[in-house]
């Protein structure tokens, strides 16, 4: 039996990891996976030694608060992988956690694959030296990434993004609305405040106040808010209660894909959801708030003017980004209303997103599996 160690750090990594496990098992039935996995990876047969939520921390100050526990967990994982010898390790995203682990394992003669290049092209470019010592092979999701690693002498393969394989080139908004029991004549706005409690705490009141302003101009509007935990739902419900407004906001348990596909416009906290919205060809406004100290640190280390993946991939501002101090209800509502009212602008955005989709559709899991299996023979 071949034993592969695997660590994913959040919901997006769980999705990537599940498709990868599925592709690998379709080629070899003698592989078992152990490490840190989410529900989708566990559903494909992975054994999770610790809950994936332990790694779902974002922001400098937030990480510092949990640092002792994260370091202890990482040492425990390393000990397990060395005591119960694994044949190969796959780090799925979570670079700050996984690179240390990968370096230690690589030094012990275990090959390490990192799946999802960290954004060295956006900030902390000097990390590429650290990556060279940690990674046997990098699997890159975006077409501009391989050149960076080749220049540093790191083996790399562009595999595309699995969401581009999963999502249709032509989304069916009417079917999605039928599934959510929404009127075809309604103006549907999906609002995605993030998956973590800290993100929802930053964005809940902002999104509710934004919905209030939009609803004043568009009384046929319906706002869909997909959330994945009871805790995040409670945070958002409290924000609605504080506004004392009877707004047509529907909170969904999950169903983020359905909410975006059914929508006319998306308001989304920066992250992987921006890419999903782009692949669904949805005009969007990207926003993000974080604690002030975390924002000041991040702002000094940024190398690009964009934070949203659609803008990064297009290398221009295709959709607006309203971040930190610019992230106000008034500015968000104004940008959203422009997307609703300017049909030509929305059409240009959809054309750009179609180009992005075509470039990322590469049969990702299959390509990644081939690379990984080549390191097992």
In a domain? residue 212: yes
pLDDT computed for residue 296 by the predictor: 64
In a domain? residue 165: no
**Whether residue 315 is found in the same domain as residue 368:** no
**Whether residue 292 is found in the same domain as residue 244:** yes
**Whether residue 192 is found in the same domain as residue 333:** yes
**Whether residue 60 is found in the same domain as residue 70:** yes
**Whether residue 102 is found in the same domain as residue 203:** no
In a domain? residue 317: yes
**Length of the chain in terms of residues written:** 377
pLDDT per position as a tens digit, 29-76: 999 999 999 999 999 999 999 988 777 655 444 455 556 778 899 999
In a domain? residue 167: no
Distance CA 344, CA 349 (A): 9
**Whether residue 245 is found in the same domain as residue 196:** yes
pLDDT per position as a tens digit, 115-127: 998 876 555 667 8
In a domain? residue 56: yes
The parts of the chain modelled with pLDDT lower than 70 are 56-67, 120-125, 294-304
pTM value is 0.80
Contacts 24+ apart (CB under 8 A), 268-273: 268/190, 268/191, 268/192, 269/192, 269/193, 269/194, 269/199, 269/203, 270/307, 270/308, 270/321, 270/323, 271/12, 271/194, 271/195, 272/12, 272/163, 272/309, 273/192
pLDDT computed for residue 300 by the predictor: 59
**Whether residue 145 is found in the same domain as residue 261:** no
CATH number at residue 356: 3.40.50.2000
**Whether residue 33 is found in the same domain as residue 43:** yes
pLDDT computed for residue 51 by the predictor: 87
In a domain? residue 222: yes
Provide the residue range defining the domain that includes 231.
173-360
| Locus of tokens 């702002």 | 299
**Whether residue 131 is found in the same domain as residue 224:** no
In a domain? residue 211: yes
- The tally of domains found in the chain comes to 2
**Whether residue 15 is found in the same domain as residue 125:** yes
Report the run of H or E that residue 222 belongs to, with start and end. strand 221-227
**Whether residue 125 is found in the same domain as residue 250:** no
In sequence order, what are the residues at sequence separation of 6 or more whose Cβ sits closer than 8 angstroms to the Cβ of residue 10? 38, 52, 55, 56, 93, 94, 195
pLDDT computed for residue 71 by the predictor: 86
Tell me the three state secondary structure of residue 32.
strand
In a domain? residue 131: yes
The upper half-sphere exposure of residue 358, i.e. CA atoms within 13 Å in the direction of its Cβ, equals 7
**Whether residue 72 is found in the same domain as residue 131:** yes
């Amino acid at each position: 039996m071949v034993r592969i160690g695997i660590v994913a750090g959040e919901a997006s990594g769980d999705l990537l990891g599940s498709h990868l496990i599925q592709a690998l098992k379709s080629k070899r039935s003698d592989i078992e996976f152990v490490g840190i996995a989410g529900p989708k990876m566990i559903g494909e047969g992975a054994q999770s030694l610790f809950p994936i939520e332990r790694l779902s921390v974002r922001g400098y100050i937030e990480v510092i608060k949990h640092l002792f526990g994260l370091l202890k967990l990482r040492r425990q994982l390393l000990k397990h992988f060395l005591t119960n010898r694994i044949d190969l390790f796959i780090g799925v995203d979570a670079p700050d956690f996984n690179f240390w682990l990968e370096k230690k394992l690589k030094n012990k003669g275990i090959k390490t694959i990192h799946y999802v290049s960290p954004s060295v092209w956006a900030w902390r470019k000097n990390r590429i030296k650290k990556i060279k010592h940690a990674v046997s092979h990098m699997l890159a999701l975006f077409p501009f990434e391989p050149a960076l690693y080749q220049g540093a002498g790191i083996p790399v393969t562009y595999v595309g993004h699995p969401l581009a394989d999963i999502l249709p080139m032509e989304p069916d908004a009417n079917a999605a609305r039928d599934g959510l029991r929404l009127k075809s004549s309604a103006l549907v706005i999906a609002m995605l405040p993030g998956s973590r409690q800290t993100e929802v705490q930053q964005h809940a009141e902002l999104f509710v106040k934004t919905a209030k302003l939009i609803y004043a101009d568009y009384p046929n509007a319906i706002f869909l808010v997909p959330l994945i935990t009871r805790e995040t739902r409670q945070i958002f419900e409290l924000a609605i209660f504080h506004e004392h407004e009877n707004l047509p906001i529907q909170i969904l348990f999950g169903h983020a894909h359905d909410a975006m596909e059914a929508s006319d416009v998306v308001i989304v906290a920066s992250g992987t959801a921006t890419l999903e919205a782009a692949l669904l060809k949805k005009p969007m406004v990207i926003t993000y708030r974080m604690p002030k100290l975390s924002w000041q640190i991040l702002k000094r280390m940024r190398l690009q003017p964009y934070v949203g993946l659609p803008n990064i991939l297009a290398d221009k501002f295709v959709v607006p980004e309203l971040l930190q101090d610019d992230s106000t209800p008034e500015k968000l509502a104004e940008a959203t209303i422009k997307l609703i009212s300017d049909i030509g602008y929305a059409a240009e955005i959809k054309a750009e997103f179609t180009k992005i989709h075509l470039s990322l559709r590469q049969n990702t899991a299959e390509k990644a599996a081939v690379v990984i299996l080549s390191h097992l023979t």
